[in-house]
Chain A
Amino acid sequence: MSYESIDPAVTAWAAKYGLHLYTTYRDEEVRSVDLVGSDGRKCQVWIDAPDQSGHVQVHVWDYKKRRENYKTTTADLPRALEQAYATARKWLT
């Protein structure tokens, strides 16, 4: 599993919205950002490493019950990231 092929898209997306990109978690490589609302509520968006056929999953959850997954391809990842961002923003407002 490597994030190499999707890193340019992920870092560009994070930079566009000023999001801090976490890259490690419990000894494993990950790609994750936290969105924080004005009242302190949080949402996490994370991206799985692409599988062998180039499919990628983007996940968003509100640290409680709401969760959505977006299945996409490496080429179409930017659109899925935008969707995930919009969902998180919606939950936080």
Chain B
Amino acid sequence: MAAARFLIRRRFKYLLALVIVLSVLAMKGNAEIGHSSVAAASVPAAWNEFRATMPRQFAADTSSSLGQLVCDAYYSIGYALVYPVSAQSAQRWYGGSAQRFAGAVVGTGQMIYDVAALASYGLVSAVAPEAAYNAYGGAIERLEQRLPVFYGGSGQSAAYQVTYGTLSAATVFIGTEFGQAGRVGRAAVWTTESRLAAEVAQQTAPITNPSRLLTAGTDVPNAGGVIRSFAQEGDQIYYRVFSESQQGRFLTAVPPRSSAFAREALALPPGNRATFIQQVLVPHGTILQRSRALPAFGARGGAEQFELLQRIPAENFGLGTPLL
């Protein structure tokens, strides 16, 4: 017992030392970040700034997350001790910390499950893509939401993503991404996300159209999963299935392999039998909304869909070819 206590005390000491070192680095980093310009207009400028500030920012995030975790673990013990005597006091004094710590444990477990599910998805989807999506779709959606924070976001250069991802992976359990996985140190995560969002915002026009996130009162809801609005970069070919109308707002990035699959995975309305498929040329700058089709009209949905939030010329809708 005494030995265990000694070990815990020793480890705690090392942990504390690590937090202090990282905090000093962070303070130094923040002081310098405060003087740096955030107007990263070009990719090289953004990269140079990233290279200069990233390690310190990362240390700041790591120390903040770790410090928060240690505090939460410590106060959770207090919560457990006080709760049998006075649940109200335990909640008032330690409730927040205990909740965060429980969130960290559960969230980390969920993250591990999701990553394992991703591997299973990869194996199963080769032979049964629909079954794979049904079984592991939820995990994929969650990862889809979290991964951009892990690797820096798809809007960044490849070098940025690789470096950011490597640093994230190196400290997955003690740094920012622990916060992301376990919802610990949310402030640190928000700092990172805000910084990335600010950088991305400078390179793209305001693109979200909240009126389309919720359908109008007469529209059957169709958008689920990660709903994201974006401006198309460069001209791009999308695909559209139909049986009557040659034009419409709902597209897919890949051609559905059959009419039946399109009806089921896109949860098409009864009037659309997906008997034809056409190519749609979406011009550079067009605003689209990405989501996954919700189940409706007896079909399970789940496929990725893109909704045109702006009109495009009628001639951009190609001729329909039969879809079997």
Encoded as 1 (CB less than 8 Å from any A CB) or 0, chain B from 216 to 230 comes to 111110100000000
B297 at the interface (CB under 8 A from A): yes
- B218 touching A48, Cβ below 8 Å: no
In Å, the complex CA distance between A59 and B245 comes to 24
In Å, the complex CA distance between A61 and B117 comes to 29
Encoded as 1 (CB less than 8 Å from any B CB) or 0, chain A from 1 to 15 comes to 100000000000000
In Å, the complex CA distance between A58 and B219 comes to 19
> B240's closest neighbor in chain A, by CB?
A27
Within the complex, the shortest CB–CB distance from A40 to chain B, in Å, comes to 15
Q: Which residues of B contact A1 (CB under 8 A)?
A: 271
A46 at the interface (CB under 8 A from B): yes
Considering only residues 220-250 of chain B, those with a C-beta below 8 Å from chain A are 220, 222, 245, 248-250
- A63 touching B250, Cβ below 8 Å: no
Within the complex, the shortest CB–CB distance from A65 to chain B, in Å, comes to 10
- A26 touching B269, Cβ below 8 Å: yes
Residues of B participating in the A interface, judged by any CB pair closer than 8 Å: 216-220, 222, 245, 248-250, 266, 268-272, 295-298
Q: Which residues of A contact B269 (CB under 8 A)?
A: 25-26, 28, 30
A: contact size bracket? 20 to 34
- B222 touching A25, Cβ below 8 Å: yes
A27: which of B218, B248, B295, B297 is its contact (CB, 8 Å)? B248
A20, A23, A49 — most chain B CB neighbours (10 Å): A23
Q: Which residues of B contact A28 (CB under 8 A)?
A: 269-272
A25: which of B217, B245, B296, B298 is its contact (CB, 8 Å)? B296
B295: which of A22, A24, A25, A63 is its contact (CB, 8 Å)? A63
User: Interface majority SS on A: helix, strand, loop or mixed?
Assistant: strand
Within the complex, the shortest CB–CB distance from A64 to chain B, in Å, comes to 9
B219: which of A25, A44, A67 is its contact (CB, 8 Å)? A25
Q: Which residues of B contact A82 (CB under 8 A)?
A: none
- A32 touching B249, Cβ below 8 Å: no
- B249 touching A24, Cβ below 8 Å: no
Q: What are 29 sample pairs from A and B whose C-beta atoms fall under 8 A apart?
A: A1-B271, A22-B219, A23-B218, A24-B216, A24-B219, A24-B220, A25-B219, A25-B269, A25-B296, A25-B297, A26-B248, A26-B250, A26-B272, A27-B245, A27-B248, A27-B249, A27-B250, A28-B269, A28-B272, A30-B270, A30-B297, A32-B220, A32-B297, A44-B296, A46-B270, A48-B270, A49-B270, A59-B297, A67-B298
Knowing that A30-B269, A46-B270 are A-B contacts, what are 16 other residue pairs whose CB atoms are under 8 Å apart, sorted by A's residue number? A1-B271, A25-B222, A25-B296, A26-B248, A26-B266, A26-B268, A26-B269, A27-B248, A27-B249, A27-B250, A28-B269, A28-B272, A32-B296, A48-B270, A59-B298, A67-B298
Q: Which residues of B contact A46 (CB under 8 A)?
A: 270, 297
Q: Which residues of A contact B297 (CB under 8 A)?
A: 25, 30, 32, 44, 46, 59
B219, B245, B268, B297 — most chain A CB neighbours (10 Å): B297
Within the complex, the shortest CB–CB distance from B148 to chain A, in Å, comes to 28
